[in-house]
Amino acid sequence: MRVMNKVDQSIVLIGMMGAGKSAVGRCLQWRTGFEQFDTDEIVRSRFGMPISEIFSTHSEDKFREAETEALRNLSPDQGAIIVTGGGIVLREENIDLLKRFGVVVWLEADEKTLFKRASRTGDRPLLQRKNPRRAFTTMLRARLPLYAKIADIRIDTSELTDEEVAVAILSKFKKYRRKSRPASPIPATAR
Ligand code: S3P
């Protein structure tokens, strides 16, 4: 594993289901040596059950509350990779919390690709509908402006492998940090 110089800014991955946030998060973790936090994982272990079961036995609201609480309790003392669930942008409070962590990276893809990837595992509670395709479109439309508003960096993942996405993120992350804080040290070995 290659270790980047420790920096205080984290990389926060946002984007719709199927954007590849978890897989790309793992690649980033491997490349940077940063610790990784995944809000879905945190909520899942807090309830001790899969997310689909949290939705069905508790409710989406309870899931959203736990998601916000996970963010509130997260305070990495050095740069980290923070992977989020697709609906994290729905709560105003979450947006402030995410911005506080560091650079927010939006993983995008065309709708067809996102839906295909998101429906592959069959375990997304919000797609357990009579017409999951239509539900997906409605959700995506409502969320696009929210992702766009919060993102510092955006990457189109439609044609890229997870590794390629990770490399693209690290390259943009370095440039972004250079632009936003010219006097600060730049991570030396991002790949
Ligand atoms: C959700 C996305 C899921 C998970 C939950 C709700 C959403 O995470 O947080 O099922 O609202 O889009 P992924 O984006 O990792 O699928």
Domain ranges within the chain, ordered by starting residue: 10-173
- DSSP run (H or E) holding 105: strand 102-108
pLDDT tens string 62-89: 999 999 999 999 988 789 999 999 999 9
Instruction: Give me the CATH code for the 10-173 domain, please.
Output: 3.40.50.300
Say what the pLDDT of residue 6 is. 43
Mean pLDDT of 57-61: 97
| The two structure tokens encoding residue 138 | 């409605």
Mean pLDDT of 6-10: 69
Q: What is the mean pLDDT of the chain?
A: 91
pTM assigned to the model? 0.90
Q: For residue 38, what are the contacts with CB-CB under 8 A and spacing of at least 6?
A: 22, 25, 82, 83, 84
In a mutational test of the pocket of ligand 1, which residue from 124, 127, 141 has the highest number of ligand atoms less than 8 Å from its CB? 124
At residue 2 the predicted structure's pLDDT band, cuts being 50, 70 and 90, is very low
Answer yes or no: are the C-beta atoms of 14 and 151 closer than 8 Å.
Answer: yes
CA of 21 to the centre of ligand 1 (A): 10
Mean pLDDT of 40-65: 97
pLDDT of residue 3 exceeding 50, the answer is no
Say what the pLDDT of residue 188 is. 43
At residue 123 the predicted structure's pLDDT band, cuts being 50, 70 and 90, is confident
In a mutational test of the pocket of ligand 1, which residue from 107, 114, 126, 127 has the highest number of ligand atoms less than 8 Å from its CB? 126
Q: For residue 140, what are the contacts with CB-CB under 8 A and spacing of at least 6?
A: 16, 111, 114
| The two structure tokens encoding residue 59 | 């409710």
Say what the pLDDT of residue 182 is. 52
* Ligand 1 atom at minimum distance from 139 CA: 12
Q: Give the three-state DSSP class for 13.
A: strand
Alpha helices in the chain, H assignment, sequence order: 21-32, 39-47, 51-53, 60-73, 92-101, 111-119, 132-150, 162-180
CA of 85 to the centre of ligand 1 (A): 4
Question: CA 183 to CA 37: how far, in whole Å?
Answer: 28
Question: CA 34 to CA 173: how far, in whole Å?
Answer: 14
CA of 34 to the centre of ligand 1 (A): 23
| The two structure tokens encoding residue 131 | 């017409």
| The two structure tokens encoding residue 175 | 């440039």
Answer yes or no: are the C-beta atoms of 169 and 155 closer than 8 Å.
Answer: yes
Say what the pLDDT of residue 43 is. 98
| The two structure tokens encoding residue 143 | 């969320």
pLDDT tens string 130-183: 999 999 999 999 999 999 999 999 999 999 999 999 999 999 998 887 777 654
At residue 191 the predicted structure's pLDDT band, cuts being 50, 70 and 90, is very low
CA of 40 to the centre of ligand 1 (A): 7
What's the chain's Rg over C-alpha atoms? 16
Residues with CB under 6 A from ligand 1: 17, 21-22, 40, 51, 85-87, 124-126
Question: CA 120 to CA 164: how far, in whole Å?
Answer: 21
* Ligand 1 atom at minimum distance from 67 CA: 9
Answer yes or no: are the C-beta atoms of 116 and 133 closer than 8 Å.
Answer: no
